A and B are shown apart, each in its own frame.
Chain A
């Protein structure tokens, strides 16, 4: 238990000290939010609903990013620097190492959610019930698990450059095609069809429902569960193969 607490604390310290985290996960989404709700006139009728919707888009954008990028790149770094090998000769069980990584990451996500929600409240006075705020936050944290799994999948790559390149592209493509930057309805129909099957769209869809006052549909939950299963199996399969040396 002492090991687990210590390890979680360390993982959180490492994330918060990372300037990329502060920039990509906190600053960028808030700036985007400000631009697309304050400066650019989107011409949408229901302004209040749009402001709440876009706040959720930006929060999922932030959390999805740090789940994919921080986890994946950090794992490759630890592998390539030999730190991961060093950990294997210490008595720290691999499971505790992994759990505290995921737990530390989730605590940081909760922090991002709170910061961005507060920013939305301060910038636009976004109005939702307590239940909606908490429900949205919980959805964003729980439904980020498939992206953590995707992060560990990118974490099996050999080189930091490859991992950060691939995860950046995947992140940006998923964010745009999944309707996190602008609503998917404005896309051509082919892109809409593709977008609706992406994990990012379904991640957003659940929380957009909550922000609109509805419960999330079953469909995004099932699709996300499917992606979680896929990413976990792939990541474990690759890891097993690499360890067989």
Chain B
């Protein structure tokens, strides 16, 4: 499989501060990758270096094996930038024709109109008079004007309402089905989880995790077993003793009481269950659970805040 993009030890330093810190990854052809992270994690900086808008301070960025500034690269990429940018003084269909004229083998104008979902009367509107949502749709059609192999969407759904957001991801899914390689940034965890086949989790300019949405979840979230323990009956167990025993089980991180239930967090829930039976813990209503990516994300970010507070 051809590698569409390759970043090697890329850093970007803005006035002494590292916005991107030694980042390396490879984007294979046909993949849908989410660059996920909180604000200021370096997502947009990474994307703008891949688009040739910024020069990396260190390391190398190659798109289709070439510098992103190369004209041949620009003919094969399309992008929706974070800022909604619309040229003034031109009608919608004029903007579309203009951008089409830049590419050697553009898609048909009618196809662009279809992608943007514009009605005939909207085509004659001045582009700068469009609403925010309409500008986004125009931006989407413009990104596809050159029939690109690689698409960048920087925070594509910020400011969209729920139906518009859903419609956007449906279109993105269709593009992925047609074999386009897509890289998008988002801080909506749900979007990354639903649309991407790979997540690059950014935090403080570094890749904090890289994998499928499932892998990210299992890597970042601990699983848990919770149960109600009967501590008063005949063969009752002292709570202290139980906690002590559970904590000594390999892989168990914690054992504590929460709202009447005992919660054991561990890497592997099977060993916890085995331990419950081995030690004859009077447990009933046993449930196993797994944190969602949302939670994982929160944990990661807040863990980082804690570290900051200490240092």
Contacts and interface: CB of A to CB of B under 8 A. Distances in A.
A89 B102 contact: no
Interface in A1-24: 2-3, 6-7, 10, 13-15, 17-18
B99 interface: yes
Contacts of A86: 81, 85, 142
Interface string A86-125: 1011111100000000000000000000000000000000
Given A13-B94, A89-B79, A90-B102, A82 B85 contact: yes
Given A3-B101, A10-B94, A83-B87, A245 B54 contact: yes
A83 B102 CA distance: 15
A13 B87 CA distance: 12
B90 A14 contact: yes
Q: Is the interface of A mostly helix, strand, loop or mixed?
A: helix
Nearest to B101: A6
Nearest to B48: A85
Contact of A91 (B89, B98, B102): B102
Interface in B35-93: 51-54, 71, 74-75, 77, 79, 81, 83-90
B84 A10 contact: no
B262 interface: no
B101 A2 contact: yes
Given A13-B94, A86-B81, A91 B146 contact: yes
Interface string A216-236: 000000000000000000000
A89 B86 contact: no
Interface residues of A, number: 24
B103 interface: yes
Contacts of A142: none
A245 B19 CA distance: 13
A44 interface: no
Contact of A6 (B54, B84, B86, B98): B98
Contacts of A18: 89
A167 interface: no
Contact of A81 (B77, B86, B101): B86
Nearest to A91: B74
A224 to B, nearest CB: 30
Nearest to B142: A86
Nearest to B68: A89
A17 B89 contact: yes
B86 A83 contact: yes
A77 interface: yes
B85 A83 contact: yes
A7 B90 CA distance: 12
Contacts of B99: 90
A78 B75 CA distance: 22
Contacts of A85: 53, 81, 83, 85
B132 to A, nearest CB: 13
A90 B83 contact: no
Contact of A89 (B74, B88, B98): B74
Contacts of A2: 101
A14 B85 contact: no
Contacts of A3: 101-102
A81 B85 CA distance: 5
B281 to A, nearest CB: 61
Nearest to A86: B85
Most A CB contacts (10 A, CB to CB) among B14, B79, B85 go to B85
A93 B98 contact: no
A244 to B, nearest CB: 9
B53 A13 contact: no
Contacts of A88: 52-53
Interface in A38-94: 77-78, 81-83, 85-86, 88-93
Contact of B83 (A14, A17, A82): A82
Contact of B71 (A13, A14, A83, A93): A93
Contact of B74 (A13, A15, A83, A90): A90
Nearest to B89: A14
Contact of B98 (A10, A17, A77, A245): A10
6 contacts: A10-B98, A77-B88, A83-B85, A83-B86, A85-B83, A90-B146
Given A85-B53, A88-B52, 9 more contacts: A3-B101, A10-B94, A14-B89, A82-B83, A83-B85, A83-B86, A85-B81, A86-B142, A91-B146
